[in-house]
Structure 1
Amino acid sequence: MKDQDCIDFLQWALPRLDRRWRGFRKVRRQVCRRVQRRLDTLGLEDVGQYRQYLNTHPEEWQVLDGLLPITISRFWRDKRVFELLERRFLPELARRAREEDAETLRLWSLGCGAGEEPYSLSILWRERLQSRFPGLDLTVLASDIEVYQLARAERACYPESVLKDLPEPLKRAAFERDDDRYCLKREYVRGVELECRDIRETFPARRFHLIACRYLAFTYFDRELQCDIARRLYHALPPGGLVVLGNKEALPEAVTGFEPAHERIRIYRRREGEGCVGPAPTTST
């Protein structure tokens, strides 16, 4: 498949799946390889025939949608974010939780992949912060749409390459070497709940002190869906709760109720006592 043929196809198909081409430009070759394998499976010669197939077989859109998720993750990705979480934001949230007599600090990692982000949060808390807040536990809900990625997260064993940004003392404390893999010790898995969820459909019914929504909704989803997700994030946070985005991501301007919590890093705080444009989200347990 020629690159331009795949580009033309994705620019046609992505808006029909509430995705935007801009988010897929740099990862298109990986997606195009998946599409080519699907063409081979169906016995189709080119994407022109695949377009016709999609038009006559509407159930195929769900298959195509499943070819689009791209997971690029590692432990401690964007180390400046984790430095700020350690020095400022998690202690702030922990102090507030204790003032409210909460027993648990609740975090949510959306698009958790193979667990690198939620386990990074668990390691950070247990190694660097928990001793400062005795009696306060940490739970992390880790959600992803791909069952394969969640199975990897459950095994919690990784190649050394995804640990390259993790500070060496934390790596030594949290992992055990198993041949060419590094396996996370069970005490750091504790408190991390893995679940399969499509955030386009539902959000959890519970609220979280902090939500990490990095390199997913605000990279790959179209503007209308981004606004919907941002409104749902608002309702999933208490006043003062935080949402962490990826570098170069931003909340849509049309959504009110948030303010930047840092001048450079994309961390937003739910404003005290303010509403948010749009309806409350659909939730599930």
Structure 2
Amino acid sequence: MTDGECIEFLQALLPRLRLRWPGFRKVRRQVCKRLSRRIDELGLPDLSAYRDYLAGHSGEWEILDSLCRVTISRFYRDRGVFDTLRARILPELARAASEAGRDEVRCWCAGCCSGEEAYTLQLLWKIDVIPGMAKSRPLKILATDMDSDVLERARKGIYSKSSLGDLPREYLSAAFLPSGSAYVIRDPFRKDITFARQDIRSEFPEGTSSLILCRNLVFTYFAEDLQFEILERISEKLAPGGILVVGIHESLPREIKTFVPYERTAGIYRKI
């Protein structure tokens, strides 16, 4: 399979999955490798034969959909985002919970991949935010993804050194234990995180959250009409005045008027 053949295949078939080619342009090689392995598993000669196979086997579309999941994540990804969360947003949410008499702050990480984002938030909360609170309140994080394999890695909490390259050193020593060539997240930072399998295209958590992170997923890979549908549901799941964080290179559909920029360069919005 040549790169050009794979590009042509993705451009033609991604719309059937309500996905968009521009989001895959830079990461296509991950998907193309999976496609090549799948073709070999089926004993097919090439992508043309695989397209014929898809036409005759409706269940294969679900497998193709799983091959198009991009799994790229690391701790403290996009430093400016987490610096803003640490210095402004998380303390603000803690104060708001105190003033409202709430016993916890709720957060939803959609498309959590292997857990790096959720654990990073918990590090910031427990190391930086809680010491400044008159009364300690937990940050309850629901971290969801459609991929069972990455969720299993998240629950194990074992990470390679490369996953931790962006994490400030003080967090590494405070929150991880070395284990051979890897690092294991310490138990206190596992608490208050629930990992659950959900497909954001069709499933949403119960209740509302004060903070929702949906980064480098919906507004990169999904078709524009699907982005609009999901953002409407996200808005329903975010409390008034709550914070939505998307990818730094992503933008919200223009039709949605319920969000205003909080820190546009960091992909951070407030619900009005």
Give TM class, smaller chain: over 0.9
Q: Which residue number corresponds to residue 74 of structure 1?
A: 74
In structure 2, what is the equivalent of residue 157 of structure 1? 158
Determine the structure 1 residue equivalent to 2:266. 265
Distance 1:67 1:129 in 2: 39
> SS in structure 1 opposite 2:212?
strand
Which amino acid in structure 1 is aligned with residue 168 of structure 2?
A: P
1:133-212 matched pairs, under 5 angstroms: 133=133, 134-212=135-213
Supply the AA of the counterpart residue of 2:60.
Answer: E
Report the counterpart of residue 104 of structure 1 in structure 2: 104
Identify the structure with the greater helix proportion: 2
Q: For the structure 1 residues 263 and 225, does the alpha-carbon distance in structure 2 shift closer, same or farther, using more than 3 Å as the test?
A: closer
Consecutive aligned runs of 4 or more in structure 1 exceeding 2 Å deviation: none
SS in 1 for 2:256: coil
Q: What is the CA distance between 1:88 and its match in structure 2?
A: 0.8
Q: Deviations over 1:162-215 (max 9, x none)?
A: 111111111100001111111000000000000011000111121000001001
Deviates more, 1:38-47 or 1:185-194: 38-47
SS at 2:240's partner residue?
A: coil
Paired position in structure 1 for 2:251: 250
- Which amino acid in 2 is paired with 1:34? R
CA RMSD of aligned residues (A): 0.9
Q: Percent identity of the aligned residues?
A: 44
User: How far apart in 2 are the matches of 1:166 and 1:33?
Assistant: 29
Cα distance in 2 between the residues matched to 1:246 and 1:16: 24
SS at match of 1:82: helix
What's the secondary structure of 2:241's corresponding residue? coil
Give the AA of the match of 1:237.
L
CA distance in structure 2 between the aligned counterparts of 1:140 and 1:234, rounded to whole angstroms: 17
CA distance in 2 between partners of 1:180 and 1:45 (Å): 40
Range 118-127 or range 26-35, more displaced:
26-35
Query: 1:117-159 deviations in whole A, cap 9, x for unaligned?
Result: 0000000100000122223111110111111111111110111
Tell me by how many angstroms 1:264 deviates. 2.3
For 2:160 and 2:46, the matched residues in 1 are separated by 36
Distance in 2 of aligned mates of 1:141 and 1:263: 25
Q: Which residue type is aligned with residue 23 of structure 1?
A: G
Gaps of at least 5 residues in structure 1 are: 272-285
Alignment correspondent of 2:16 = 16
1:263 to partner: Cα distance? 4.1
The equivalences for 1:87-126 within 5 A come to 87-126=87-126
Match of 1:220 in 2: 221
